[in-house]
Structure 1
Amino acid sequence: MPTRKLFGRALALAALAALPATAFTVPSPAVAAVASAPEAAAVTAPISFVELPSSPLPSDHAAHRIVVTYRNGTGADQTIAPQILVESPDAGPFLAPGNVKLEALTGGHWRTVPLASQTGTLYSSLTSAKLVLHSHHTLTQYYRLTVLKVSPGTVVPRVAVFG
């Protein structure tokens, strides 16, 4: 993996660690087989990320579905957050949040997911996606990505796991 991408992810983790503790206590809307995160949930940065298969950023203006599936195979509940990264090529041009539109299927409706940008990587918030996944349950979250300004890049879905 290129150094710039590792550095960008490290910066994103550092930025998360600098957020106030209250930023990590807001759970996302309930999803089947999950419950909202309790107030006493871990107030730390993620301890790991489970990266799912990546794909090239589409080169058309159609809506493309992204499915994030994660199974909690442990004997305990886990606090997790699905996340979508859209990475720019190492040599640029670097993507801006206005280059793509990301939506999540929530409660039967597509809602726009704001994207932040750091070091050429666009990313969805972990804070608003945070939830508790019960032992031996599976999360399936549907996203829709539409390219507004055709640019090279890579779509990287992943799941943050909190301690």
Structure 2
Amino acid sequence: MPTRTIPRRVLVLTVAALAALPTATLTAPAQAASATPAAAPPTASAATAAPVRFVDLPDTALPTDRAPHRITFMYRNDTPTDQTIAPQVLVESPPTGPFLSPSDIRLEQLGGDGHWRALRLGSQTGTLYTGLIPAKIVLHSGHTLTETYRITVLHSSARGTVEPRIAIYA
């Protein structure tokens, strides 16, 4: 029987999307059919809906000199309507390992007040990632989002690729 490999990025996307859904949505019992009209079953709200697609931004090698490095990326909404989006940073381990751990790097985001704030990193199958739901914003048509992060490798043996992306919601 042939085996099929699921790319790590697809697996992380699936896990992140499923984690965004409330448990009740995933385990709600089926509604029985009845002769009288009933209200539609509850659905996930826009606040917890999964992204419909991702826009990958240029990636870079994970710096290995243990010094803080700025990473800035931009995304422009060229659509005629406003978009609900969420920036996300993935740090991919090398395909042959060793897998990165959240304790291998420190990732900070530059806030609107000019201060850096540390971001928690999730970990799934060798990929570190920032959360999506806390990062959601509405980007108006024709506007550009600029995000600035600071990444510091804490262990000299850590290797990988920094892959920023934008999650697009319906």
Structure 2 counterpart of 1:117, from 123, 127, 138: 123
Given that residues 68 and 82 in structure 1 are in contact (C-alpha distance below 8 angstroms), is that contact kept between their aligned partners in structure 2? Answer: no
Query: In 2, distance between residues paired with 1:74 and 1:63?
Result: 35
TM-score of the pair, normalised by structure 2: 0.78
- Aligned-residue offset at 1:42: 5.9
The reply to whether residue 158 of structure 1 matches residue 156 of structure 2 is: no
- Aligned-residue offset at 1:21: 4.3
The reply to whether residue 97 of structure 1 matches residue 129 of structure 2 is: no
Bigger proportion of residues as strand = 1
Aligned equivalent of 2:57? 52
TM-score of the pair, normalised by structure 1: 0.81
Structure 1 vs Structure 2 CA RMSD: 2.0
| 1:105 aligned partner, one-letter code | L
Structure 2 counterpart of 1:41, from 46, 68, 85: 46
Query: In 1, distance between residues paired with 2:66 and 2:96?
Result: 23
Given that residues 100 and 148 in structure 1 are in contact (C-alpha distance below 8 angstroms), is that contact kept between their aligned partners in structure 2? Answer: yes
Query: In 1, distance between residues paired with 2:46 and 2:109?
Result: 24
Structure 1 gap segments, 5+ residues each: 24-39
Say which one has the larger Rg: 2
The secondary structure found in structure 1 opposite 2:11 is: helix
Query: In 2, distance between residues paired with 1:143 and 1:17?
Result: 23
For residues 23-50 of structure 1, the C-alpha deviation after alignment (integer angstroms, 9 at most, x for no partner) is 9xxxxxxxxxxxxxxxx63642111111
